[in-house]
């Protein structure tokens, strides 16, 4: 009984960590531009696919990972430069539609560049399961937890301890004020796309040995990351992390105790629930502003 | 001439907000711009900082045309603005707000500057770790001015620093502006509170529906019949 629960919890936390990274990607871009980037899932796909291809071609894993992260960042930067930046005077809704178009384009390009098959990576440190109170934990899950945790700490450090991170935060709080102290908001926007693409790629790389990946793996991962971000309160980094874990655990419990057919429905039920009953999410904007 | 604006026009869509402004600020001067609501005062300041596109005319700083320069580079030149409505970074700490004020600058002097700000505004030192959004209106105004000062302004643009403040605080803010002028800071002060602004200004401009209708020494404008009637309620 408890072992089964623990088993579901492990699998929920593993996918939840990836949703959290995707959710953070949504939050970072949303904060700098109020745009919801529906190509976020494609960054995850690119990270996984590129690494899998390079490893299959014989490159050592660390090098393949580094190159894929770089490639994903370049795609993020190109997306901003060539699709978002030229439309910067348009409505936010228009730009969101552009990101949907970009995601379809990236999926198509992936299908041509690679194929429609599933690809995988060897687990980073073996496949020997670890027994924990009757449940089993795959070593790769530990990699997922560890890497996600490290990424979150690094992000925290970046946004709270570096000048450029603070400038990005400041831009999200008050764009005009940021411009008036000399923050280049264009640079901030570009950096937010690069950073989100990097986060996506990291998630894609660590999860691929568990879930496999193919050219359209980004759709579901992106949507779940989006529900994580909405659940946590759009634009709230901590909220996206908590939201991601909740979505992952809810999903795992539902497919364990109800039926695995409901697994993907859970994320959408959560989105609907949040939009109906708590549109600001769990940690939506608190009123610290005095007018 | 530190800052020279000639024939400046700006539009919001089809509506013309500025209809050819000519204005000069010399080094060390305190120049006041007064006028009613909607006259275009804030628009003019936004054009000077580069956050509002201009549709004609030029802005010269130190003899160099900066009309097409991006806002961040203008801050780098030393055009620093404390905007209307304070616009502090609400959820960030007072200290981070000040630090971001020095965003275009580098080096160890920033810490010394911050200490200088805390000396000038002791209340900010007391509240340095609190989110700026929790400060009172007057404290936020001090923070906005201090943040602009952190950028080492060669010209400090102040947009309605007295707006929405209690009379005692208004007096305090004007005292601060005067002290800054004594220190040699070049200041461009935009105010609806015409009397207080003109009383401390070297020169003043009166703006009406997008045009400069009067310009003279501050003291002379104070006694000008038209100004008295329209803005001072005398």
Quick: pLDDT tens for B176-226. 999 999 999 999 999 988 888 999 999 999 999 999 999 999 889 988 888
Q: Which of A177, A239, A284 to mutate to test the interface with B (most CBs of B within 10 A)?
A: A177
* Among the partner residues B70, B80, B91, nearest to A173 by beta-carbon distance: B91
Fold that domain B3-84+153-232 belongs to in CATH: Rossmann fold (3.40.50)
Which of A72-81, A249-258, B77-86, B105-114 has the least mean pLDDT? B105-114
Strand, coil or helix: B42: helix
Residues from chain B that touch A167, judged by Cβ atoms under 8 A, are 100, 103
Query: Among all residues of chain A, which has the CA nearest to that of B133?
Result: A289
Rounded to an integer, the average pLDDT of B76-87 is 95
- CB contacts of A289 in chain B (<8 Å) are 90, 133
Instruction: Decide if A117 touches B, using CB distance below 8 A.
Output: no
Residue A285 has pLDDT above 80, yes or no: no
Whether chain B has a CB inside 8 Å of the CB on A183: the answer is yes
Kindly list the residues from chain B whose CB atom is less than 8 angstroms away from the CB atom of residue A31: none
How do residues A36-45 score in pLDDT, each as one tens digit? Answer: 999 999 999 9
Q: Do B104 and A182 touch (CB under 8 A)?
A: yes
Lowest-confidence region among A271-275, B75-79, B177-181: A271-275
Residue A198 has a pLDDT of 96
pLDDT the model gives residue A290 = 45
What is the residue extent of each domain of chain B? 3-84+153-232
* Topology at the third CATH level for domain A2-277: ABC transporter involved in vitamin B12 uptake, BtuC (1.10.3470)
Alpha carbon of B211: minimum distance to chain A alpha carbons (Å): 25
3-state SS class at B163? coil
- What span, in angstroms and rounded, lies between the C-alpha atoms of B77 and B71? 10
């Amino acid at each position: 009984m408890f072992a089964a629960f623990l088993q579901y919890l492990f699998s929920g936390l593993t996918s939840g960590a990836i949703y959290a990274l995707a959710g953070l990607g949504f939050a970072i871009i949303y904060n700098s531009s109020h745009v919801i980037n529906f190509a976020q899932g494609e960054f995850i796909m690119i990270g996984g696919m590129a690494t899998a291809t390079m490893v299959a071609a014989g490159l050592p894993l660390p090098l393949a990972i580094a190159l894929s992260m770089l490639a994903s960042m370049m795609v993020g930067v190109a997306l901003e430069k060539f699709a978002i930046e030229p439309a910067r005077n348009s409505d936010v809704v228009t730009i969101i539609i552009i990101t949907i178009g970009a995601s379809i384009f990236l999926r198509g390009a992936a299908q041509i560049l690679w194929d429609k098959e599933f690809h995988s990576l060897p687990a980073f440190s073996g496949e020997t399961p670890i027994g924990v109170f009757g449940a089993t934990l795959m070593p790769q899950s530990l990699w997922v937890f560890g890497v996600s945790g490290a990424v979150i700490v690094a992000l925290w450090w970046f946004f709270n301890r570096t000048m450029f991170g603070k400038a990005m935060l400041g831009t999200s709080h008050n764009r005009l004020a940021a411009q008036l102290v000399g923050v280049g908001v264009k640079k901030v926007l570009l950096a937010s796309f690069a950073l989100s693409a990097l986060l996506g790629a990291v998630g894609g790389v660590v999860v691929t040995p568990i879930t496999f990946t193919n050219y359209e793996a980004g759709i579901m991962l992106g949507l779940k990351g989006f529900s994580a971000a909405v659940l946590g309160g759009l634009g709230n980094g901590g909220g996206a992390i908590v939201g991601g874990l909740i979505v992952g655990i809810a999903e795992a419990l539902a497919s364990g105790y109800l039926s695995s057919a409901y697994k993907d429905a859970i994320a959408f039920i959560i989105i609907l629930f949040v939009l109906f009953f708590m549109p600001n999410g769990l940690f939506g904007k608190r009123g610290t502003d005095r007018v | 001439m530190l800052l020279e604006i000639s024939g400046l026009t700006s539009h919001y869509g089809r509506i013309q907000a500025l209809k050819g402004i000519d204005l000069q600020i010399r080094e060390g001067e305190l120049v006041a711009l007064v006028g009613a609501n909607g006259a275009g005062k804030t628009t003019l300041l936004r054009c000077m900082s580069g956050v509002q596109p201009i549709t004609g005319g030029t802005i010269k700083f130190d003899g160099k045309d900066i009309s097409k320069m991006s806002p961040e580079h203008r801050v780098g030149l030393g055009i620093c603005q404390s905007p209307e409505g304070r616009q502090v970074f609400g959820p960030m700490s007072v200290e981070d707000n000040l630090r971001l004020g020095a965003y275009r600058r580098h080096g160890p002097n920033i810490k010394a500057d911050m200490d200088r700000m805390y000396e000038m505004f002791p209340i900010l030192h007391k509240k340095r770790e609190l989110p700026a959004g929790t400060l009172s209106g007057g404290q936020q105004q001090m923070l906005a001015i201090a943040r602009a000062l952190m950028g080492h302004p060669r010209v400090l643009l102040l947009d309605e620093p007295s707006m929405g403040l209690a009379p005692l605080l208004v007096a305090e803010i004007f005292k601060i502006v005067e002290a800054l002028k004594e220190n040699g800071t070049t200041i461009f002060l935009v105010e609806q509170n015409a009397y207080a602004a003109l009383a401390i200004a070297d020169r003043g401009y009166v703006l009406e529906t997008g045009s400069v209708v009067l310009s003279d020494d501050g003291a002379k404008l104070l006694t000008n019949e038209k100004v008295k009637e329209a803005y001072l309620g005398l």
